[in-house]
Structure 1
Amino acid sequence: MAKLTLTTLLSLDGVMQGPGGPDEDRSGGFEYGGWVVPYVDEGMTQFVNEVFDRSAAFLLGRRTYDIFAGYWPKVTDPDDLIASRLNACPKYVVSTTLGHQPAWDGTTVISADAAAEVARLKESTGAGELQVHGSGTLARSLMGQGLIDEYNLLVFPVVLGHGRRLFPDGGPPTAFEVVHSRTTPSGIAIHTYRPAGRAQFGTIDLEE
């Protein structure tokens, strides 16, 4: 059974929209695309390569799939780990609007009963990870159904004040345990978490 993991880039105030470039995602009037660029460093690159090296298959939302499909098939360097994995491994895109046969080899469209299909994919993928990258709408849906086994959150030292966030208002209170943690030279805090059940609450005893 594969582990379903989510890897995403976040600002300090939780925004995940348009990290890679100004025109990546301007929906909702978002004008701050490309906010990760000043902080990309060797430490981030090393971690991302480690993540892709564990991949067995990819599960993507439509927007992220389109961004990946427009770039990675053109990268043919066999020494590029990310390109090699994305181009060779099975890719599943959750979409009700991608009606044509995807041109990117190894792509399967999931258009109905996504939760049941994702659960089946976890069972059938085998060793390695079924990986979600970005894909905010899909990620929030998977979180709501308790299907994500592990979160890789790369938190950048910048506040944006606007944009779509990974964790929506009204989500279930959830506790997490830290699996790994590191900080890159440019200040990216990388945390790997596993869900640990419902959040617990109490009162701090100020008299102690």
Structure 2
Amino acid sequence: MRKLVVTAFMSLDGVVQGPGGPDEDREGGFDQGGWAAPFFDEATIARMAEFVQRLDALLLGRKTYDIFASSWPLAEDDDPIGSRLNAVPKYVASRTASELTWRNSALLEGDVADAVRKLKEEDGGEIQVHGSGDLVQTLLAHDLVDEFQVLTFPVLVGSGKRLFGGGTVPGTLGLTGSTVSDTGIVISTYVRAGALAHGMLGPETGNW
């Protein structure tokens, strides 16, 4: 069973829309694009390179695919992130894409959730999702994510698409690692840890 990992750049108030540039995603009138860029330093880029070396395949929504396909093929051959992204198989969830120009790219056929389940059942290594906010909501609604790599930036964006939308299946996550960059990015890794538990807090319960 292959592991599916979602890597997300998230503001402190949960927004994942348009972190990389002003025109990355203006859907819904979003005008705060590029909010993550000022916080990237060499150490964070090195950490992202470590993440990317783990992947065996990319799973992307159409918008993120188009952004990556116009950018990463321009990377130098010795770029640790670009060289890996360019080399691995890329699976695209889209009903509108007519041509996939980035090498080693293929369109998922049929129902997205069913197609992703089949990918996970194949032999192979880690499947990573980067960006792809709308696709992530589908994966969450069908409980297909095994691990989250969340980079939380010390900003409040206000409006915008959230990482965990209304269709998220309740559950518990286990924190397996966390570091803080010099610019204040909290980089945390979470894995699935079972069903959501419930209880009560208060002095009358002795649990306070």
State whether residues 171 and 194 of structure 2, in contact with CA within 8 Å, keep that contact through their aligned partners in structure 1: yes
Count of residue pairs the alignment pairs up:
205
Secondary structure of the corresponding residue to residue 58 of structure 1: strand
Distance change (3 Å), C-alpha of 1:170 and 1:85: closer
1:86 aligns with 2:82: no
Q: 1:88 to 1:28 in 2, by over 3 A?
A: same
Aligned to 2:15: 15
Q: What one-letter code is carried by the residue in structure 1 that aligns with 2:133?
A: G
Asked if 1:141 is matched to 2:122, the reply is no
> Cα distance, 1:43 vs. partner?
2.6
- In structure 1, what is the equivalent of residue 103 of structure 2? 105
Counterpart of 1:114, as a letter, is V
TM-score, scaled to structure 2 = 0.94
Give the drift of 1:115: 1.5
Q: Secondary structure at the match of 1:93?
A: strand
Supply the distance in 1 between the matched residues of 2:107 and 2:82 (Cα, whole angstroms).
20
Matched residue, 1:66: 66
Give the C-alpha shift of residue 86 in structure 1.
1.2
Asked if 1:165 is matched to 2:162, the reply is: yes
Looking at structure 1, the residues matched to 83 and 96 of structure 2 have their Cα atoms a distance apart, in angstroms, of 27
Alignment of 1:186-201 (within 5 A): 186-201=183-198
**Alignment partners' CA distance in 2, 1:2 and 1:178:** 20
Which AA in structure 2 matches 1:154? L
Provide the secondary structure at the position in 1 that maps to 2:135. helix
2: CA distance between counterparts of 1:40 and 1:10? 13
1:205 to 181, 186, 202: 202
* Mapped contact 1:152–1:193 kept (Cα < 8 A): yes
Q: Separation in 2 of the partners of 1:66 and 1:111?
A: 18
Q: Which of structure 1's runs of 4+ aligned residues deviate more than 4 A? A: none
Distance 2:167 2:112 in 1: 22
- SS of residue matched to 2:157: coil
TM-score (norm 1): 0.94
- For 2:112, the aligned partner's letter is A
Between the aligned partners of 1:56 and 1:45, the Cα distance in structure 2 is 19
Retained in 2: the 8 A contact 1:57–1:125? Answer: no
Q: Give the Å deviation of 1:170.
A: 5.1
Q: Is the 8 A contact 1:18 1:32 kept in 2?
A: yes
Query: Percent sequence identity over matched residues?
Result: 48
How many angstroms does 1:125 deviate by?
A: 4.4
User: Are 2:112 and 1:114 equivalent residues in the alignment?
Assistant: yes
The separation in 1 between residues aligned to 2:123 and 2:88, in whole angstroms, is 11
Please identify, of 162-171 and 62-71, the stretch whose mean Cα deviation from structure 2 is larger.
162-171
RMSD: 1.3
- CA-CA distance at 1:193 after TM superposition: 0.4
Q: Which runs of 5+ in 1 are unaligned?
A: none
Query: Post-superposition shift, 1:42?
Result: 2.2
**Compared CA separation, residues 103 and 172, structure 1 to 2 (3 A):** closer
Query: Does the 8 A contact of 2:109 with 2:115 survive in 1?
Result: no
Structure 2: unaligned runs, 5 residues or longer: none
Residue by residue, what CA displacement relative to the aligned partner does 1:118-161 show, whole Å, maximum 9, x if unpaired? 112122241x3111001011111111111111000000000011
1:28 maps to what in 2? 28
